[in-house]
Amino acid sequence: MPRKDVARRLLVPVTAVLALVLPATSARALPADTATAGAAATAARPLDHTVWLCKPGMAGNACGQDADGRPGTPDGELVTRYPGGATRLLDDTRIAADGSRERVPFTVTGAPPVDCFYAYPTVDLLANPLLQTGSLPPARQDAHQAVTLTQAARFAGLCRLFVPVYRQVPLTGLLAGILTGTDTDLSTATMDIRDAWDDYWAHDNRDPRTGERRGVVVLGHSQGTATAAAMMAQRVDGDAEVRSRLVSAILLGGNVEVPEGRDSGGGFDPDSTFQHIPACHRGAGEPMPTGCVVSYSSYALPDGSLPVAMGRTARPGHRAVCVNRRRCCAASPPTRGSPSICTCPPGGSSAATRCCPTGTSPSPSADTASPTCPPASPTTRPPSAGSASTPPTPAAAPTGSRSAATSPPFPPPPPPA
């Protein structure tokens, strides 16, 4: 896909840019070493060390977890911290039918069984650092923590959170590319996410107490999805040992592409995002799938309308994955449309975003909320569950990780105490 098309997907709609949360970008991975070569062309070199926003046990860990993933407070409440110094709890507010409100503390009672590696979306207004040459590192910023709190912080009760700060293409860079018609280069961003993963896998993936490899969930949104998908294609997809530790990948607001009628490239389709990591399926009576990818882009438009870029692919014979996570998580998924994946054909249709079996599309209907699906065929093989010790339940999709058109603005940091 031309890089200027990637930029358009990152900048539509303009209101989303102002809200600092961007919609879809292509998640098709760069070939191996392309990220490094592209970064070299822009004079950026690999960082001397990973800049972590969140890393369990790290001094000043913004996500508030110790090395085991537990809160550092005696009452079990997780206190997150902005780089600027402000703190925030992850409490809920329960609103009753009569309008009364009750604070529900967010507590973590034990060590999380798996890890989460999260690549946040485009939030930098300007390049970070301003001069992106050599190995000058990016700085932790409150905007990074704000979007992490919105999309991934509630995972802290389920996983140890690893969140690298990376030299992403800023909002101004994306806009300049559109205005001038020049390509958008994600190579430096991809290099940083890939190198952060290498750091995590080499030094932090083993359990601090048992020494065993841990299961890991990969999370991404928008530009974070594009870079995380590229990293996975280079470091996870082709390595059976690493794949066996993948609980799930949740890559939202970007196109994960598969051939028509298949859930992955199968090892012989270079236009597929992944060759061996399938889209998540779950038919009636089947166990929770693991080792697979959840991907979708959601939007708020009038009935019958389609977004400009999300859920579309220009590659003949391919579709953008759109997994219905509700059906994957349900104890007894409905049989109609099994397996639980819907896909958007090239060009789309008024019913293209509705869920149907893999390789099929809903029939057009005057009621776009209730299109009909072709008869379901028997469910294909479930995605690989990895090794026996891989935790059986993938994490749910990040809170607030819908596309910008439907997401509330992420919470600003509170004033310092």
297-337 residue pLDDT tens: 877 778 777 766 666 777 788 888 888 766 666 655 444 33
Q: What percent of the chain has pLDDT over 70?
A: 66
Q: What is the DSSP string of 96-133?
A: -TTS-EEEE--B--S--SEEEEEE--S--SS-SSSS--
**Domain membership flag for residue 392:** no
Return the higher-pLDDT residue of 171 and 13. Answer: 171
**Domain membership flag for residue 358:** no
The per-residue pLDDT for 263 is 77
How many of the other CB atoms lie within 10 Å of CB of 105? 12
Query: In the predicted model, is pLDDT for residue 245 greater than 60?
Result: yes
Task: State the sign of the Cα–Cα–Cα–Cα dihedral 164, 165, 169, 170.
Answer: positive
- What average pLDDT score do residues 34-47 get? 65
Stretch among 11-25, 170-184, 191-205, 301-315 having the lowest mean pLDDT: 11-25
pTM: predicted TM-score of the whole model, two decimal places: 0.73
Please name every residue paired with 114 in a beta bridge, in sequence order, or none if there are none: 159
**Domain membership flag for residue 229:** yes
- What average pLDDT score do residues 191-219 get? 94
What is the token pair recorded at 26?
């292509």
Which helix (H) or strand (E) segment is 80 a member of?
Answer: strand 79-81
pLDDT band at 5 (very low <50, low <70, confident <90, very high): very low
Q: What is the DSSP string of 219-277?
A: EEETHHHHHHHHHHHHHTTT-HHHHHTEEEEEEESEE-EEETT-SS-TTS-TTSS-SS-
The per-residue pLDDT for 271 is 86
The per-residue pLDDT for 183 is 75
| Most trustworthy range by pLDDT among 219-233, 310-324, 341-355 | 219-233
The per-residue pLDDT for 328 is 65
DSSP E strands: which ranges in 308-400?
Answer: 318-322, 342-344
Q: What DSSP designation does 208 have? A: T
Instruction: Say if residues 152 and 219 touch (Cβ distance below 8 Å).
Output: yes
Q: What is the rounded distance in angstroms from the CA atom of residue 241 to the CA atom of residue 245? A: 7
Instruction: Say if residues 300 and 402 touch (Cβ distance below 8 Å).
Output: no
**Domain membership flag for residue 362:** no
Q: What is the rounded distance in angstroms from the CA atom of residue 353 to the CA atom of residue 296? A: 9
Sheet of strand 159-164: strand arrangement: 52-54, 159-164, 114-119, 216-221, 246-252, 292-294
Query: In the predicted model, is pLDDT for residue 54 greater than 90?
Result: yes
Q: Which domain holds residue 121?
A: 3-344
**Domain membership flag for residue 372:** no
Instruction: Say if residues 54 and 162 touch (Cβ distance below 8 Å).
Output: yes
Nearest to 214 by CA among 82, 14, 387, 3: 387
Return the higher-pLDDT residue of 363 and 184. Answer: 184
HSE value, Cβ hemisphere, 13 Å, CA-based, for 191: 26
Number of domains in the chain: 1
- pLDDT tens-place string over residues 80-100: 889 988 988 888 889 999 999
Bond preceding residue 13 cis, omega within 30 of 0 = yes
Query: In the predicted model, is pLDDT for residue 344 greater than 80?
Result: no
Q: What is the rounded distance in angstroms from the CA atom of residue 56 to the CA atom of residue 116? A: 11
**Domain membership flag for residue 416:** no
What values do phi and psi take at 108, rounded to 5?
-115, 120
Stretch among 290-299, 300-309, 359-368 having the lowest mean pLDDT: 359-368
Nearest to 186 by CA among 21, 19, 28, 53: 28
What values do phi and psi take at 264, rounded to 5?
-165, 175
| Most trustworthy range by pLDDT among 127-141, 282-296, 315-329 | 127-141
**Domain membership flag for residue 414:** no
- What average pLDDT score do residues 328-350 get? 42
Query: In the predicted model, is pLDDT for residue 137 greater than 80?
Result: yes
- What average pLDDT score do residues 246-262 get? 89
**Domain membership flag for residue 376:** no
- What average pLDDT score do residues 22-49 get? 59
* Mean pLDDT, the chain, integer: 73
